[in-house]
């Protein structure tokens, strides 16, 4: 903790944008700095411990919280006594802005990152792209990137059909191609769903040996929110930040998805596509043994009716002699 101490807890609920701006300036003046980067980005730094966590907002955070908010993970990072540098975007920018590029160049050239014993870049989706891309400003950093894009340059990813609002951004400038930036990182944790085709295509472009690829099957694009719903996001991120996370640790934690409704509904949809009534019946019986679920009950009834029509045994019943 610096001599000035940690800032007091802010309450930005119901504040106007001007009030929000003044409050972030106050926080920055107390223990770090606040910067407005062009018209669409801001950065807040609060100095505490020797670990610096650099965070980038994803689209969920941008639109759920509007203009009056703190950087992603602000309270979580402060609770651990870590320093934070939180980048905030105010639109679908993918942080492709000369003002942001210049900001990271300046931090690098002035030795800002060298003040810390550990530097970690974190983000998901748009923020995951930015965490990977801008980590090049701090060689030797740890990077945690969830469902990231490698780029949105259509000449490089012509198969990308999402995020059209950002397609006209320039991804050829500094920090443009995220996989190239990661070559300077010490270690990288890349979380993605290999069954989500577009995310898997992006993940395939991240191919350096310093990358630990962590498969989050049938969790879709919004892996961070799913992990939060399973109450494993914080412990996983904590372990990654302190450098102790292993693949075995991660997959043990991920077992909690077996009780997570969103994951189980994805399983249900995939079983429906497979058209195997025996497996569908078995799965729905397992689900309904411990909880209610009209959707699962409906699929169970349909599957059992199909099995009866085919003259096949329903799972869990005695076969005819």
Residue 245 lies in a domain: yes
* Same domain as 298, residue 207: no
Residue 316 lies in a domain: no
Residue 144 lies in a domain: yes
- Determine the pLDDT at residue 16: 63
The string of pLDDT tens digits covering residues 177-228 is: 999 999 999 999 999 999 999 999 999 999 999 999 999 999 999 999 999 9
* Same domain as 274, residue 127: no
Residue 320 lies in a domain: no
The string of pLDDT tens digits covering residues 248-287 is: 999 999 999 988 998 999 999 999 999 999 999 999 999 9
State the average pLDDT over residues 233-248: 95
CATH number at residue 141: 3.40.50.1820
Q: Is the pLDDT of residue 29 over 60?
A: yes
Percent of the chain with pLDDT over 90: 77
Cα→Cα distances 261→60, 237, 250, 289, Å: 20, 22, 20, 14
Residue 8 lies in a domain: no
Residue 200 lies in a domain: yes
Q: Which residues pair with 189 in a beta bridge?
A: 144, 212
* Same domain as 156, residue 79: yes
- Determine the pLDDT at residue 5: 46
* Same domain as 277, residue 254: no
* Same domain as 294, residue 187: no
Q: Is the pLDDT of residue 6 over 80?
A: no
The more confident residue out of 1 and 169 is 169
- Determine the pLDDT at residue 15: 54
- Residue ending a domain, among 258, 279, 298, is 258
Calculate the average pLDDT of the chain: 90
Residue 320 — very low, low, confident or very high, per pLDDT cuts 50/70/90? very low
Q: What CA–CA distance (Å, rounded) separates 178 from 50?
A: 26
Among the residues of the chain, which ranges form H helices?
17-31, 59-65, 74-79, 98-109, 126-134, 178-181, 197-204, 223-229, 233-242, 247-254, 261-274, 277-288, 294-309
- Residue ending a domain, among 258, 276, 295, is 258
Residue 303 lies in a domain: yes
* Same domain as 127, residue 186: yes
- Determine the pLDDT at residue 62: 47
Asked if 277 contacts 306 with a C-beta cutoff of 8 angstroms, the reply is: yes
* Same domain as 98, residue 211: yes
Residue 73 lies in a domain: yes
* Same domain as 185, residue 41: yes
Q: What CA–CA distance (Å, rounded) separates 191 from 23?
A: 34
Tally the domains of the chain. 2
* Same domain as 268, residue 227: no
Nearest to 22 by CA among 31, 32, 10, 37: 10
Q: How many helices (H) and strands (E) does the chain have?
A: 13, 8
* Same domain as 124, residue 34: yes
State the average pLDDT over residues 95-119: 97
* Same domain as 96, residue 58: yes
**Residue 279 is part of which domain span?**
261-309
* Same domain as 124, residue 273: no
Q: Is the pLDDT of residue 164 over 80?
A: yes
Which pTM value belongs to this model? Answer: 0.87
- Residue ending a domain, among 237, 258, 279, is 258
């Amino acid at each position: 903790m610096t001599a000035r101490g940690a800032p007091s807890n802010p309450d930005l609920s119901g504040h106007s944008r001007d009030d929000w701006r003044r409050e972030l300036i106050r926080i920055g003046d107390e223990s770090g700095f606040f910067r407005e980067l062009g018209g669409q980005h801001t950065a807040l730094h609060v100095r505490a411990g020797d670990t610096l966590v650099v965070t980038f907002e994803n689209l969920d955070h941008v639109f759920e919280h509007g203009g009056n908010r703190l950087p992603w993970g602000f309270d979580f990072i402060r609770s651990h006594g870590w320093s934070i540098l939180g980048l905030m975007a105010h639109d679908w920018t993918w942080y492709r802005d000369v003002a942001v590029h210049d900001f990271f160049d300046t931090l690098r050239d002035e030795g800002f990152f060298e003040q810390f014993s550990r530097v970690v870049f974190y983000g998901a989706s748009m923020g995951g792209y930015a965490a990977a891309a801008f980590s090049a400003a701090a060689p030797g950093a740890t990077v945690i990137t969830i469902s990231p894009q490698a780029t949105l340059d259509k000449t490089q990813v012509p198969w990308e059909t999402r995020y059209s609002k950002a397609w006209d951004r320039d991804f050829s400038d500094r920090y443009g191609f995220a996989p190239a930036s990661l070559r300077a990182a010490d270690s990288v944790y890349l979380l993605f769903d290999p069954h989500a085709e577009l995310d898997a295509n992006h993940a395939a472009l991240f191919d350096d040996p310093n990358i630990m690829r962590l498969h989050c099957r049938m969790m879709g694009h919004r892996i961070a929110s799913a992990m939060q719903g399973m109450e494993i996001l914080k412990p996983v991120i904590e372990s990654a930040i302190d450098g102790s996370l292993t693949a075995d640790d991660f997959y043990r934690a991920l077992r909690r998805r077996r009780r997570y409704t969103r994951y189980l509904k994805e399983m249900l949809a995939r079983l429906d596509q497979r058209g195997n009534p025996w497996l569908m019946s078995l799965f729905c019986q397992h689900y309904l043994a411990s909880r209610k679920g009209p959707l699962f009950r409906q699929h169970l009834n349909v599957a059992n009716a199909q099995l009866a029509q085919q003259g096949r045994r329903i799972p869990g019943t005695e076969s005819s002699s």
